[in-house]
Chains A and B, each alone.
Chain A
Amino acid sequence: MTMLGNFDFDVIRRALPYLFFEGMRFTLTLTALAAFGGLVFGTMIALMRLSSYKWLGRIAGFYVDFIRSLPLVLVIFWFYFLVPYIGQWLTGASRPITVGAFASSLITFIAFEAAYFSEIMRAGIQSISKGQPAAASALGLTYAQSMRYVVLPQAFRNMLPVLLTQTIVLFQDTSLVYVLSIPDFLGAASKVAQRDGRLVEMYLFAALVYFVISCVASFGVRRLQSRIAIVR
């Protein structure tokens, strides 16, 4: 071990406020909002796929298959360049609008994750027995009511561990905003690493932080899974 002798812990210590208050805050905010948005839109896509209108299902299916066959890096680039034009089209501005780094990556991740969350929610909805919506409509509930009060709560509960696992994957995937030079946690670590010429310390530390957070989170999911398992 040639390097560990001059391993500089002080570089990490000095960078801590920047890494966590700037970098990790960006990463966690992006993860939370993208997971929420992905779940909302994903549920809508899942309902479209299962709807009795064939054409709605076909559109949703096409979207999911399309997004899922592209690398996330390519999708990040797509949206980074596309969002200003969509904004221009929506607002009727005369030129492509400027979109901040955070907004751009949030839109990208919501659009991307919606495809993955929709497959989870679809499985969740399909796992509910046919009698449930049938009983709901026998009670006079409308389609919206039966989804809102009967089917979706159960589907969500059944799929919670899988949804959380997907959120851990999302947490790791947000590091890819690095390609847009956005200072998320990894981006911040990389900035310090390059400024101080301390790649070894910073990247090892970043790896350790991601590892610990993901490990603790997936351990929590496993605990939750055994606790909320419904006895049938």
Chain B
Amino acid sequence: MNYNWNWHIFLEPNPMGTGTYLDMLLAGLVVTVKVSVLAWIIALVSGTVIGVLRTLPSRTASWIGFCWVEFFRNMPLLVQLFLWFFVLPELLPKSAGLWMKQLPNAPFWTAAVGVGLFMSARVAVQLQAGIGSLPRGQKQASTALGLTTVQTYRYVLLPMAFRIILPPLTSEFLNTIKNSAVAITIGLIELTGQARSMQEFSFQVFEAFTAATVLYLLLNFVVVTAMRFLERYVAIPGYITGK
């Protein structure tokens, strides 16, 4: 290979005047983390609502849940981001569209909401499966005790269902982090984006991408470790994964 390796490139100043190339990549990592966490919160909240709707006896509720999941699952994430970023501001009334376009940091907010809603469909499906896996007696016992539907979900079904689906939720969170890289297409300079601009400025393609790869692996490792602790912390003694 006649490629000029230069691993010292990370310590050289970047042309943006914001420190070294390493600083550039770390700034990208921070954006990736911020966007992923925000998207994950959105995915968890809306995914929980939709997942619960899908398990209610009401026809309308489960139909709404069905439509939501099918809508967000059957379009590529990239297309969804384009819809939120380019199309939605044009369809809204003029003033609202203008507000969206002039939002400072518009790619960041669009990415967080877009990735969040995309992931919410997957969270909803997982949660539905989790609630479905609980014995029927749980719900019946709650009703017999005089709990309302809201109370049944709040105190009985959801706490159990979330514990059951914690492992698949971990991989969905990892997917959220990975999916945040798609936002490069609407101009968000996250980790992959920074690696790409480092490659364009310095011509050190493989160093830039190696660094981004290592940072993604580290991020994965941190999330997996944290989630393992969480799993152990919330485990119920005598139950499935309990002590």
Chain B residues at the A interface, C-beta cutoff of 8 Å: 1-3, 70-71, 73-80, 82-83, 86-87, 90-94, 97, 174, 177-182, 184-185, 192, 195-196, 199, 205-206, 209, 212-213, 216-217, 220
Q: Which residues of chain B come closer than 8 Å to A41, judged between CB atoms?
A: none
Q: Which residues of chain B come closer than 8 Å to A186, judged between CB atoms?
A: 76, 78-79
Q: Contacts A95-B2, A211-B74: A73 and B182 contacting too (C-beta < 8 A)?
A: yes
Q: Contacts A3-B90, A199-B86: A178 and B178 contacting too (C-beta < 8 A)?
A: no
- Flag whether A225 is at the interface (Cβ < 8 A): no
Min distance, Cβ B29 to any Cβ of chain A, angstroms: 13
Min distance, Cβ B2 to any Cβ of chain A, angstroms: 7
| A2 B78 Cβ-Cβ under 8 A | no
Min distance, Cβ B89 to any Cβ of chain A, angstroms: 10
Summarize A's interface: helix, strand, loop or mixed. helix
Q: Which residues of chain B come closer than 8 Å to A173, judged between CB atoms?
A: 76
Q: Which residues of chain A come closer than 8 Å to B94, judged between CB atoms?
A: 2
Q: Which residues of chain A come closer than 8 Å to B212, judged between CB atoms?
A: 74
- Flag whether A156 is at the interface (Cβ < 8 A): no
Q: Contacts A85-B3, A214-B75, A215-B70: A176 and B182 contacting too (C-beta < 8 A)?
A: yes
Q: Contacts A69-B217, A207-B83: A81 and B76 contacting too (C-beta < 8 A)?
A: no
List 19 interface pairs A-B (beta carbons < 8 Å), by A numbering.
A70-B178, A71-B182, A74-B213, A77-B209, A81-B205, A172-B75, A172-B76, A173-B76, A175-B76, A175-B78, A176-B76, A176-B78, A178-B78, A186-B79, A203-B87, A207-B75, A207-B79, A210-B75, A211-B75
- Flag whether A98 is at the interface (Cβ < 8 A): no
A 193-232 contacts with B by CB, 8 A = 199-200, 203-204, 206-207, 210-211, 214-215, 218
Which residue of chain A has the shortest Cβ distance to B180 in the bound complex? A71
Measured in the bound complex, the distance between the Cα atoms of B200 and A212 in whole Å is 38
| B87 A69 Cβ-Cβ under 8 A | no
- Flag whether A149 is at the interface (Cβ < 8 A): no
Q: Which residues of chain B come closer than 8 Å to A73, judged between CB atoms?
A: 181-182, 184, 192
| B90 A200 Cβ-Cβ under 8 A | yes
Measured in the bound complex, the distance between the Cα atoms of B71 and A188 in whole Å is 23
Measured in the bound complex, the distance between the Cα atoms of B94 and A1 in whole Å is 9
- Flag whether A88 is at the interface (Cβ < 8 A): yes
| A215 B74 Cβ-Cβ under 8 A | yes
Instruction: Among A66, A71, A175, A179, point to the contact of B79 (Cβ < 8 A).
Output: A175
- Flag whether A89 is at the interface (Cβ < 8 A): yes
A186-B78, A204-B87 known, 16 other contacts, Cβ within 8 Å: A69-B216, A70-B213, A71-B182, A72-B181, A73-B184, A77-B209, A81-B205, A85-B1, A175-B78, A175-B79, A176-B182, A199-B87, A200-B90, A207-B75, A211-B74, A215-B70
